[in-house]
């Protein structure tokens, strides 16, 4: 395969990783193909069997050494939503009786909210988010 063919294949594989999440498997193969193409462009173009052998060996080395690190690095997040909203104040949109469901606004988004406290929460008042159950905020009235 000519050097530019490896570059095209590598770019397609790297682009596919953006569209299809494969936990960096396609990215590893794409990087290996780019390396083989760059080697052919900058150093010397090898016979096809050596190009394929180099691609396979480089793919295995990259899979073993860096794929897991890249995948872990990219999957790190700021935590789940429940971890980020617990303790914040929400504006209650409608009256919610103890144990009842209603709506509350938090960070500009309207959430289903359950009053887990022992007193009703009136519309317009503030309530503290104490946990998240699925997509429902569990709130208590603020004194």
Average pLDDT for 47-76: 88
CA 49, CA 21: separation in Å to the nearest integer?
A: 30
**What pLDDT shows up at residue 79?**
47
CA 109, CA 104: separation in Å to the nearest integer?
A: 8
Helix (H, G, I), strand (E, B) or coil at 102: strand
Helix H segments across the chain?
3-19, 25-42, 48-62, 68-75, 81-85
Percent with pLDDT over 90 in the chain: 65
| 137 pLDDT higher than 50 | yes
Under CATH, what is the fold of the domain 81-141? OB fold (Dihydrolipoamide Acetyltransferase, E2P) (2.40.50)
Sequence spans of domains, the chain: 3-75, 81-141
CB-CB neighbours of 40 under 10 Å: 20
| 27 pLDDT higher than 80 | yes
User: 92 pairs with which residues across the strands?
Assistant: 104
Percent with pLDDT over 70 in the chain: 93
């Amino acid at each position: 395969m000519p050097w530019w063919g490896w570059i095209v294949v590598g770019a397609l594989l790297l682009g596919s990783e953006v569209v299809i999440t494969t936990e960096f498997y396609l990215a590893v193969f794409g990087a290996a193909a780019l390396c083989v193409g760059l080697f052919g462009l900058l150093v010397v173009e090898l016979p096809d069997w050596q190009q394929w052998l180099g691609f396979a060996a480089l793919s295995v080395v990259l899979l073993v050494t860096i794929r897991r690190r890249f995948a872990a690095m990219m999957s790190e997040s700021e935590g789940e939503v429940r971890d980020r909203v617990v303790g914040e104040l929400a504006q209650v949109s409608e009256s919610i009786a103890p144990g009842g469901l209603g709506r509350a606004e938090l960070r500009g988004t309207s959430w289903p909210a359950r009053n887990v406290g022992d007193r009703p929460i009136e519309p317009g008042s503030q309530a503290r988010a104490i946990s998240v159950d699925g997509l429902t905020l569990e709130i208590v009235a603020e004194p």
